[in-house]
Amino acid sequence: METVLVDRRAGWMVLTLNRPARLNAFNEEMHLALRRALEEAAGDAACRAVLLTGAGRAFCAGQDLAERVQTGGAPDLGASLDRLYNPLVRQLRALDKPVVCAVNGVAAGAGANIALACDIVLAARSATFIQAFSNIGLIPDSGGTFFLPRLIGDARARALALLGLPLDAATAAQWGLIWAVAEDEALAGEAEAITARLAARATHALGLVKQALNASPGNTLDQQLDLERDLQRLAGYAPDYAEGVRAFTQKRPPVFSGQ
Ligand code: T3D
């Protein structure tokens, strides 16, 4: 069975984590399959947006703990982060096209934080987000200690990380952890509509938007203004900017090539 299903649509791709019996927990094979699929999306000019979701009743339950039952010496989890989780988070953030995450059910541990690494997160009303790490004696990884305080503030980040309790989707949206909630039966359709809309937009510019926002937390205002100048220069040279202005002045919808 494929651990990541790849479904090519007109201008975009759906990647579905596919280990439903284990709530799509990550084993090494699924890590590598997801990385390969994202590389393919990155290298394919015809793919202008990505939708990430899970098969079955969960989005992803984080690391497959069946692989971590200790039979001998303690594992080096730092090495696992270095080799598998951290490259995946970096890859999602660096992808120069938007990634939508449709959280179709529970997102726990690294599964929650990989969702947060995506650009737009839409969750089913029944979905929950669990910083499950401390429940098994670990700390939030896959960017959790970076994303959580920036998205929802230190007080809420601390409580989620220390208590390891589920956060329902409506509260996650209300707190600003995610973009929005959809009714369970509407989630796939709404996520697909968002992804298709993104795929028809000025892809090159959207990649630059990601770059600017990714850099923002570590920059001073002066540094960020300089970065905006540099990226806007690139955007201004691109064909889609010319098309955007032309379409505006001709009072018609733009037809972006993605360039
Ligand atoms: O190790 C490293 O490389 C370092 C990196 C670590 C990153 C991490 O993600 S650490 C955190 C790992 N994840 C967790 O601790 C979450 C564990 N799972 C849960 O807490 C619960 O399963 C959920 C809250 C996610 C869902 O609960 P519930 O009651 O809806 O389902 P369930 O009955 O617990 O699970 C259903 C099945 O999925 C069950 O299998 P079974 O009994 O039907 O054969 C369960 O064992 C399996 N499952 C769920 N999560 C995992 C899992 N199997 C392996 N690994 C899992 N993470």
Q: Within 6 Å (CB) of ligand 1, which residues are found? A: 22-23, 25, 61-66, 68, 77, 80-81, 85, 106, 108-110, 130, 132-133, 135-136, 138, 141
Give the HSE-up count for residue 203: Cα atoms under 13 Å, Cβ half-sphere.
Answer: 24
CB 164 within 8 A of CB 130: yes
For atom 31 of ligand 1, the residue with the nearest CA is 23
pLDDT digits (tens, 9 = 90+) for 41-95: 999 999 999 999 999 999 999 999 999 997 777 899 999 999 999 999 999 999 9
Atom number of ligand 1 nearest to Cα 84: 3
Predicted ipTM > 0.85: yes
17, 19, 23: residue to mutate for ligand 1 pocket, most atoms within 8 A of CB = 23
Atom number of ligand 1 nearest to Cα 23: 38
Q: What is the average pLDDT score of the chain?
A: 97
For atom 25 of ligand 1, the residue with the nearest CA is 61
Q: Do 194 and 229 lie in a common domain?
A: no
CATH of the domain at 47: 3.90.226.10
Percentage, residues of the chain above pLDDT 70: 100
Give me the number of domains the chain comprises.
2
On whether residue 254 sits in a domain, the answer given is no
The pLDDT of residue 54 is 99
* Helix or strand (DSSP H, E) at 230: helix 221-237
Please state the rounded mean pLDDT for residues 161-184: 98
The pLDDT of residue 73 is 79
For residue 5, the 8-state DSSP code is E
Q: Do 117 and 218 lie in a common domain?
A: no
Domain residue limits at 212: 203-249
On whether residue 123 sits in a domain, the answer given is yes
Q: How far is the CA of 171 from the centre of ligand 1 (A)?
A: 22
Q: Do 225 and 176 lie in a common domain?
A: no
Q: How confident is the model at residue 182 (pLDDT cuts 50, 70, 90)?
A: very high
On whether residue 107 sits in a domain, the answer given is yes
Q: Residue 6 pLDDT more than 90?
A: yes
Which residue, of 199, 216, 237, is where some domain finishes? 199
With 0-12 / 13-18 / 19 or more C-beta atoms within 10 angstroms meaning exposed / middle / buried, residue 20 is middle
Q: Do 236 and 134 lie in a common domain?
A: no
Q: Using the structure block, give the residue that is written with the tokens 């039952």.
A: 69
For atom 38 of ligand 1, the residue with the nearest CA is 22
Percentage, residues of the chain above pLDDT 90: 97
Q: Do 171 and 226 lie in a common domain?
A: no
Please give the Cα distance from 54 to 128 (Å, whole number): 13
Q: Do 149 and 185 lie in a common domain?
A: yes
Give the HSE-up count for residue 159: Cα atoms under 13 Å, Cβ half-sphere.
Answer: 6
